[in-house]
Chains A and B, each alone.
Chain A
Amino acid sequence: MKGLRKYLDKNVKPLFDKGGKLERFWVVYDGLDTFLFVPGHATHKGSHIRDGIDLKRTMITVVLAMVPCLLFGMYNTGLQHYIASGVADSSLMDCFVFGAMKVLPIVVVSYGVGLGIEFLFAGLRGHSINEGYLVSGMLIPLIMPADIPLWMVGLACAFAVIIGKEVFGGTGMNILNVALTARAFLFFAYPTMMSGDQVWFADAPFSGSVDAITGATALGEAAAKVPMDQLNASFGLMDSIIGTIPGSIGETSVISCLLGAFLLIYTGIGSWKIMLSSVIGGAAMVAIFNVFSVNTLMEIPPLHHLALGGFAFGMVFMATDPVTAAQTDTGKYIYGFLVGFLAIMIRVFNPAYPEGVMLAILFMNVMAPLIDHYVVEANIKKRMKRAKVAA
């Protein structure tokens, strides 16, 4: 490692420094250099502590937390493909290889387009490259259906980075979660490729395939008023928790999401307050619906409901996004609770949007500053009261 550092400092860095031959590409060099090594900045004045975990290291931890979801997503993509094409005895390796061939191009396109735009903006605006896209670039493939055309992924990434982030001033300034902006863009722009019953299987020959496969996700089925016992048969609780059901690439497996959640909470990067309160909020809403239970979506019991769709994935990786979530501690509880609550509500009340998690998180992203505002105001009021009593 030391040798590499020395080599970089001696032979590569001068090329990119002011007056060097490749001065114009300084942002590119800076981006890659700080990626390899923690930058050697030190504070010169005051008693500030610089954490060794800078933004790049933080982002990479989140990406690591997503690896289980990614790997399982690849396996499941293959599995669903083989089930749909009627191959009963596909081996684990078969599934994985097929899925990887489907998923990896999406990941490559997502990073390629997104980072390309980030580099461009960094160059134009003369600042170093924003790290934020490291996470978004991995989140975006995980919330796409396996069958999505690659150009749509590219377009959505471009839209999300430019309209979702750069117009507000780059990483840390965005109002909406970047990855969900990309998904929402595709959801409204190309609804036929993002929902329905054709998109969840990669290259599936639907004509003449096995009759048990309808191609819809569990929530899609439930919204179509399939009776509860039939739903249980095709999307049982255990299947939903392990994740061998159709859905977006990375969202199906609750276990993978929990592994990610564990890493995020252990390292202190994801807020357990938001995750916990969102699960409580979701469960509360399901419990209320269970009382009425007039249709299939309302009948699903809480644990099963939360295991379906993108609930677990959204709550672990999207709702906890430190930029767009509420910042205050009390605010985090309120924010998380409402995200879970609204996600289930949108699911049940609007069958056109069987996946309410995306819309609920985006909606609460917009509301987060308001929550923070009232939490802060309440605190000020409380302390003012105390101050008056003392005086």
Chain B
Amino acid sequence: MSETTQEVEKVEEKAPREPLFSKKNRKLITDPLNDDNPITVQVLGICSALAVTVKLKPSIVMSLSVVAVMIFANLIISLIRNLVPNRVRIIVQLVVVAFLVILVDQILKAFVYDVSKQLSVFVGLIITNCIVMGRLEAFAMGNKPWPSILDGFGNGLGYAWILVAVAFFRELFGSGQLLGLQIVPEAFFSFGYMNNGLMILPPMALITVGIIIWVQRSRNTKLIEE
């Protein structure tokens, strides 16, 4: 699903000394959170958003992994962007991402083994996450390292907050818990309240993402299409 045909967006390179968090650089972080969100606006990375959001904890870990991979992949690709021959750039990007993902996978296995087992194949699948490849192609290949880092961080966060939001609702209504702690009081259950089994199934993740898109589009006038 990776979009390799995207045009390379070039951030203009002008004045030699730019403050680290200039307005333009700040925009690199804030844009993907709302106006250009990778999940709700570009509709990328849906597969993992549906798969890992049953519980809050795995989705937080997944988000962190993606943020880490995106920052470092953007940085590395940006550093070597002038050395990579154009014809083999996808392979080079893949190698870099794969290397980072394996690193993340090993770290997860070493420190949070149970979460790593829950995430199973989806950590490995970060390699094919369209957001990662998309940002490498669209941004890191044409920009300096610092903006690339910010762009990776911003897009990672944009992915992360959607994941966490979806997981929040799914765990709360699906299991009555948050991060494994019981939130819905026992008294509710004795009054006949029940956990919503549909929330645990993937279709509800899709519907939850859809509702987030709906709310976002009705609030953010920039996104309303003619």
Contacts and interface: CB of A to CB of B under 8 A. Distances in A.
B201 interface: yes
A167 B199 contact: no
A163 B207 contact: yes
A149 B191 CA distance: 10
Contacts of B199: 189
B201 A188 contact: yes
A118 to B, nearest CB: 17
B125 interface: no
Interface in B189-212: 192-194, 196-199, 201, 207, 210-211
Contacts of B197: 188-191
A193 interface: yes
Interface in A142-172: 149, 151-152, 163, 167
A149 B193 CA distance: 9
Contact of B192 (A149, A163, A167, A185): A149
Contacts of A163: 207, 211
A151 B192 CA distance: 9
B198 A193 contact: no
Contacts of A190: 194, 196-197
Given A149-B192, A151-B192, A167 B198 contact: no
Contacts of A149: 192
Interface residues of B, number: 12
Contacts of B196: 189-190
Question: How many A residues touch the partner, as a band?
Answer: 10 to 19
Nearest to B211: A163
B21 interface: no
Nearest to B173: A189
B113 interface: no
| Interface hub of A151, A152, A189, A193 (most chain B Cβ within 10 A) | A189
Nearest to B207: A163
B214 interface: yes
A157 B194 CA distance: 17
A146 to B, nearest CB: 16
Contact of B210 (A167, A188, A189): A167
Interface string A185-197: 1001111110000
B193 to A, nearest CB: 8
B198 A185 contact: yes
A193 B194 contact: yes
Contacts of A191: 197
A8 B198 CA distance: 47
Contacts of A189: 196-199
Interface in A227-265: none
Nearest to A162: B211
Contact of A188 (B192, B194, B198, B214): B198
A144 B124 CA distance: 44
A169 to B, nearest CB: 12
A235 to B, nearest CB: 29
Interface in A172-193: 185, 188-193
A121 B210 CA distance: 18
Contacts of A151: 192-193
A237 B98 CA distance: 64
A356 to B, nearest CB: 19
7 contacts: A149-B192, A151-B192, A152-B194, A188-B197, A190-B194, A190-B196, A193-B194
Given A149-B192, A167-B214, 14 more contacts: A151-B192, A151-B193, A163-B207, A185-B198, A188-B198, A188-B201, A189-B196, A189-B198, A189-B199, A190-B194, A190-B197, A191-B197, A192-B194, A193-B194
Interface of A: 149, 151-152, 163, 167, 185, 188-193
Interface of B: 192-194, 196-199, 201, 207, 210-211, 214
For the complex of A and B, 5 pairs with smallest distance between CB atoms: A189-B198, A188-B198, A189-B196, A189-B197, A149-B192
